[in-house]
Chains A and B, each alone.
Chain A
Amino acid sequence: MLRHTTTRLLNNISTRNAINRTTIAAALRVIPTRKSLATSATKSKAKHDEDIDDFKLVVHTSADSKPAASKKTAADASSPGSNALKYAYQERSGFGTRPIYLDVQATTPTDPRVLDQMLKFFTGLYGNPHSNTHSYGWETNNEIEKARENVAKVIGANPKEIIFTSGATESNNMALKGVARFYKKTKNHIITTRTEHKCVLEAARAMKNEGYDITFLNVNEQGLIDLKELEKAIRPETCLVSVMAVNNEIGVMQPIKEIGSICRKHKVFFHTDAAQAYGKIPLDVNEMNIDLMSVSSHKIYGPKGVGAIYVRRRPRVRLEPIISGGGQERGLRSGTLSPPLVCGFGEAARLVREEYEADSEHIKKLSKKLTDGLLSIEQTTLNGSPIHHFPGCVNISFAYVEGESLLMALRDIALSSGSACTSASLEPSYVLHALGKDDALAHSSIRFGIGRFTTEEEIDYVIKAIKERVEFLRELSPLWEMVKEGIDLNSIEWSGH
């Protein structure tokens, strides 16, 4: 069967030049059979290793999967920037070509131990976890409940308070829309901040259209909200305060415990978007008086497309479900759960607890090295508070370098500019704006994400690469030349603008 498919594949791709027919034919001969895999399992496989190496020529990283953006820059190559780009394309001979992954705020690689938990649901445990008349349902349901317990333990919650969703986006929508709609007879006011993730901001805006009043709290230049301002903003009609735990662009940690006690004092529900915080900083829903919390699996080395919302039972938080149906998940989120995703998430949550100390220590060490290394370049600044800061997210501005050009020049490192979720747009980040950064500085910011699987060798490579290329791009910049000559750029009157 496999051979048959491959032969067909061979015919289909004969027009592509990246992989030629001979390579495929060679690869075809080494498709592992059950026996060869078994051999590899028993480790008597010195020769077999080479065969497997050839096998990769058939699939997976396709050589021409370069993003559209790179085509554009190739076309731009006649412009003065072309030298920089040529420089950027330079490959180290004798080394691989796949970029270093430093974008763990966008998503994390799935831990192999998580995948191992997930596979059995594709091979045998296919029962519907909500079928309670036979063992197929029971066995899957058992696994789901184990996962729920693991997810709850990370934040000191009761498993009954965990509702599985499709991710933090859904959880955030559920919290904002669900709570507000349930209490709409008596309350009509929501408080949130300017630096929230887009999905909270957009959900809040949607509620505005439904007639609710929204207060967006400002943050200071450190990225932190003012607790007094928060307390002043609370009214008798306020139903919900939503403040994120760790910011996804600058890694700033809000004072969650203090916010929790303010909300409890005024009997207002407190929701926190903990997508970037869950499993990475200490969180305890009881100690911190958190009533609702959104979490996401793919930020903690779990599969994408699953997450959860914590909904407090005592004192009870009521919310109107967004999705109606068979009444699964306490009626708050109907629809058949996906056992592989949920259990993958559960395993990821278990691991994040087990590895907490080792991961934190590792991330802290690499983060310090990276931050020190990059800040030693002149005219660079760390964005956001250096103290109330999760070390795995380092956001740095490189003055007189355009962030997008730097990203183009850093094709060997997978990074994101400040404007994370809208990487295609040239709009500077609203988070950095909220911190009071000007357009130029917001444009020249880059976010570095460090996680469980980042290595020290990668960090060394990144520091060196950034140093070289920032220097190179600045050489091309007339502004930088003026700065070097000691001209105060603010004193210049720009004309024709």
Chain B
Amino acid sequence: MSTIAALTKPQILNLYRQYIRTAKDFTSYNFREYFLRKARRDFRLYKDQIKTEEDALAKFNMIREELAILKRQSIISEMYTFDKLVVEPIKTPK
């Protein structure tokens, strides 16, 4: 167990980066913004909420599972897209 339990800082940062990158792939403005907000909150609370190595691992795995869901769903969101919202700037192709 000790090898898994000792989560390293780079491991956590890597998960965080992947989560953010995946959240940004959502074509829906509201979902994208929500998961970005959630990522910031989850990782901000990460340190405070966690007391034991078990907690840390459980939380890590929970986020990792959610990341897998987001990966699938962001692809679906790319297949079914809609017009951009009135608050969203339209990117002009460079």
Q: Give A residues with C-beta under 8 Å from B.
A: 32, 37, 40-41, 43, 50, 52-53, 55-56, 59-61, 91-92, 94-101, 109, 112-113, 115-116, 358, 362, 412, 452-455, 457-458, 461
Contact = CB atoms under 8 A, between A and B. Distances in A.
Contact of B85 (A94, A98, A115): A98
Nearest to A355: B38
Contacts, number: 96
26 contacts: A32-B79, A40-B75, A40-B78, A41-B71, A52-B79, A52-B81, A56-B27, A59-B80, A60-B81, A95-B87, A96-B90, A98-B82, A98-B83, A100-B86, A101-B30, A112-B26, A112-B73, A112-B74, A116-B69, A358-B38, A412-B86, A452-B34, A455-B30, A455-B87, A457-B87, A461-B87
A113 B82 contact: no
Interface residue SS majority, chain B: helix
B73 A113 contact: yes
A97 B83 contact: yes
Point out which of B30, B31, B66 has the most chain A C-beta atoms below 10 A from its C-beta.
B30
Interface in B44-94: 66, 69-90, 93
A358 B35 CA distance: 12
Interface string B4-45: 000000000000000001000011011101100110010000
A95 B89 contact: yes
B66 to A, nearest CB: 7
A112 B83 contact: no
A53 B77 CA distance: 11
A100 B89 contact: no
A100 B86 CA distance: 7
Contacts of B86: 91-92, 95-100, 412, 461
A41 B74 CA distance: 9
B87 A100 contact: yes
Contact of A61 (B37, B71, B74, B83): B83
A413 to B, nearest CB: 8
B72 to A, nearest CB: 6
Contacts of B31: 109, 112, 453
A388 to B, nearest CB: 28
Nearest to A452: B34
B70 to A, nearest CB: 7
A52 B83 contact: no
Contacts of A43: 21
A56 B34 CA distance: 22
